[in-house]
């Protein structure tokens, strides 16, 4: 019917001989898109939602939540300009990258469909929804799109974008993503993630100047310091790295189709390492796992190491639960100086100051007020030095204090 392409390669249309019609699938041919414009389809989806709500589930994650609507005139997607910014991770090998998906996704009707679902979600108190919003049209457009899906209280309860999942990460980039989101989201609730099942793991992805463990710990602590809901991807607590998948081990359809330019997402999906002394790191003891279980560090080793990311995270989670300012306090940037970043979280009764060093070099900062209580997790070995309003942050250092 048109030139739309599927995310995993080939046309987004497959011919069905019994019906003598083509059907749309933005992803695999085995994953046909639903026609949300059909009221009978929407009602059938409502029945599915209510079925699980009645079974007691607390919420839904909506995968690729901006892909549900398409242009009803089925117009061709325009070609992407030749001078467009290069895509990460060899995605230019996928022909889809040569098009602006103007008509096959991100349609204004899509949010209307989400509003329809939200009315059903609201039939049950405390029910929640979280959506994945992905866009290849630039950082600011992605952030705007994510905010549009959660503000005004009639869309998703939360939505995360891929803005923190790029290879780029420094104080300036972090500040832009956070403040731009805060400005756009209005009355909505932010949601943050540093890794997921679709991108290279943080330990491998970021340029961490040979300080991968320290940089990851600092980023995870920042994640738990921001306003909004943090998502910790499994394995981040044990510093899971991207597994170097071989062609023979590939399971991901994207990797199978586009190898070696695009090796797929299997490297971030390997089994969780429970026990360093057990077969397959304790994931199972029988059949060969779907993907190799070969992480360097296992949970038993992380628990036995006082300064591990596991203990740093556990301590920070307790701090987050203990201080209302971290749970619902307003966000305000205080300072960005080189690769140092300082912000506050504040309620009427409580103010917390957070500082982070995105570099490997020691940073000296003058804080805006005297800190009454240092709350920095004691498991964090990159400890800071505080003298009145003077703060010394080591490389990849993090600090949190109560004013």
Q: Which active-site residues does the annotation give?
A: 63, 123
Contact 216, 239 (CB under 8 A): yes
Q: Phi and psi (nearest 5°) for 206?
A: -75, 145
Q: Phi and psi (nearest 5°) for 375?
A: -105, 5
Residue whose pair of structure tokens reads 């995993």 in the numeric block: 8
Tokens of residue 249, six digits: 């081990």
Contact 31, 51 (CB under 8 A): no
Question: Rounded to whole angstroms, how far apart are CA atoms 309 and 380?
Answer: 8
Question: Rounded to whole angstroms, how far apart are CA atoms 380 and 251?
Answer: 37
Question: Rounded to whole angstroms, how far apart are CA atoms 23 and 401?
Answer: 56
CA 123 to chain centre: 28
Contact 261, 236 (CB under 8 A): no
Question: Rounded to whole angstroms, how far apart are CA atoms 347 and 355?
Answer: 18
Tally of CB atoms within 10 A around 63: 10
Contact 65, 114 (CB under 8 A): yes
Q: In what order do the strands lie in the sheet with 351-357?
A: 330-337, 340-346, 351-357, 398-402, 373-374
Q: Which residues pair with 401 in a beta bridge?
A: 353, 374
Closest CA to 77 of 96, 93, 90, 94: 96
Using alpha carbons, list the distances in angstroms from residue 231 to 161, 196, 286: 12, 9, 31
Cα atoms found within 13 Å of the Cα of residue 216, Cβ hemisphere only? 23
């Amino acid at each position: 019917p048109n030139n739309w392409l599927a995310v995993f390669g080939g046309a987004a249309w497959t011919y069905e001989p019994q019906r003598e019609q083509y059907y749309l699938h933005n992803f695999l041919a085995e994953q046909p898109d639903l026609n949300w414009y059909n009221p009978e389809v929407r009602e059938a989806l409502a029945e599915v939602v209510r079925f699980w709500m009645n079974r007691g589930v607390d919420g839904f994650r909506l995968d690729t939540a901006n892909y549900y609507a398409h242009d009803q005139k089925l117009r061709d997607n325009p070609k992407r300009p030749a001078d467009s910014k290069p895509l990460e991770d060899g995605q230019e090998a996928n022909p889809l990258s040569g098009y602006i998906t103007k008509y096959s996704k991100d349609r204004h009707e899509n949010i209307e469909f989400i509003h329809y679902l939200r009315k059903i979600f609201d039939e049950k108190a405390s029910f929640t929804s979280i959506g994945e919003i992905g866009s290849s049209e630039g950082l600011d457009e992605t952030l705007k799109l994510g905010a549009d899906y959660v503000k005004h209280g009639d869309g998703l309860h939360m939505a995360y974008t891929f803005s923190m999942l790029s290879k780029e990460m420094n104080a300036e980039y972090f500040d832009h993503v956070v403040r731009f989101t805060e400005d756009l989201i209005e009355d909505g609730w932010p949601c943050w993630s540093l890794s997921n099942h679709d991108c290279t793991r943080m330990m491998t992805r970021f340029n961490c100047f040979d300080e991968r463990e320290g940089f990851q710990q600092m980023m995870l602590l920042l994640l738990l310091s921001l306003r909004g809901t943090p998502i910790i991807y499994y394995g981040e607590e044990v510093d899971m790295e991207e597994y170097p998948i071989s062609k023979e081990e590939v399971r991901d359809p994207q990797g199978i189709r586009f190898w070696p330019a695009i090796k797929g997402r299997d490297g971030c999906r390997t089994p969780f390492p429970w026990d360093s002394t057990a077969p397959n790191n304790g994931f199972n003891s029988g059949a060969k796992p779907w993907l190799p279980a070969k992480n360097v560090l296992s949970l038993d080793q992380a628990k036995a190491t006082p300064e591990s990311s596991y203990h740093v995270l556990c301590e920070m989670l307790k701090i987050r639960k203990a201080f209302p300012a971290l749970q619902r306090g307003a966000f305000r940037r205080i300072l960005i100086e080189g690769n140092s970043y300082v912000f506050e979280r504040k309620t009427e009764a409580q103010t917390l100051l957070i500082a982070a060093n995105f570099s490997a070099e020691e940073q000296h900062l003058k804080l805006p007020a005297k800190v009454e209580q240092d709350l920095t997790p004691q498991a964090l070995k990159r400890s800071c030095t505080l003298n009145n309003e003077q703060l010394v942050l080591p490389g990849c250092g993090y600090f949190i204090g109560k004013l």
